[in-house]
A = this chain, B = another copy of it.
């Protein structure tokens, strides 16, 4: 239990968190439950989507990502957005524990930084449900599936960029120590840079190809 002078383990130490209740669960339990639950849900999507021969392997991988990121946005980040006092939680409620633990990597969560809350709000309320919609759109090959995936991925990139930029501008001193800085703040968030970047490129190419092909057809008709 890393409770220091301020009554909480977070940096900066002068961050005021009255009635802070220390995290009960240990790190491996908190991270383990998240990863295990995610793996189970992703496996179900992988197996069920495999029953439909018309869904390509790539699309099945994308569906696994979208269920994972969508539920992360809605459940984990959704809880954070609407629970300003999670750090006072005494009930050992798992989602409160998650954010008490994550705040060691970025105390702006416990401190309710307005940029963090805004970005998380957009992510949880708009991008979360939209991510789940992509599963339906991909499975049924809706014509809007590329535009939708591009829109959400660019939104995730924009949000992550604001998240990092505001941290740097505000002094980049919100992690309890270097381990939490790299494990939570850098590593965990890096997935929401690399994967949305790859999906954006994929969808961008698909869109350009379709637009180009359709206009080529039109031209041929005119001739």
A interface residues with partner B (beta carbon < 8 Å): 114-115, 117-119, 121-122, 141, 143-147, 150-151, 154-155, 158-159, 161-162, 165-166, 169-170, 204, 206-215, 217
Choice from B119, B143, B158, B169 contacting A215 with Cβ under 8 Å: B143
Tell me the number of copies of this protein: 2
Q: Is there an interface contact between A118 and B169, defined as CB atoms closer than 8 Å?
A: yes
**B147 x A114 contact (CB < 8 A):** no
Q: From residue A150, how far is it (CB to closest CB) to chain B in Å?
A: 7
- A208: chain B residues at CB < 8 Å are 143-144, 147
Q: How far is the CA of A59 from the CA of B145 in the complex (A)?
A: 25
Grouping DSSP codes into helix (H, G, I), strand (E, B) and loop, the A interface class, with mixed when no group exceeds half, is: helix
A23 to B150 CA separation, bound complex (whole angstroms):
43
List the B residue with the shortest CB-CB distance to A206: B211
Please give, as numbers and ranges, the residues of chain B lying within 8 Å of A206 by CB-CB distance: 211
How many whole Å from A200's CB to the nearest CB in chain B? 8
Complex formed: what's the CA distance from A8 to B117 in Å? Answer: 30
With contact pairs A154-B154, A161-B122 given, residues A114 and B170 touching in the complex (Cβ less than 8 Å): yes
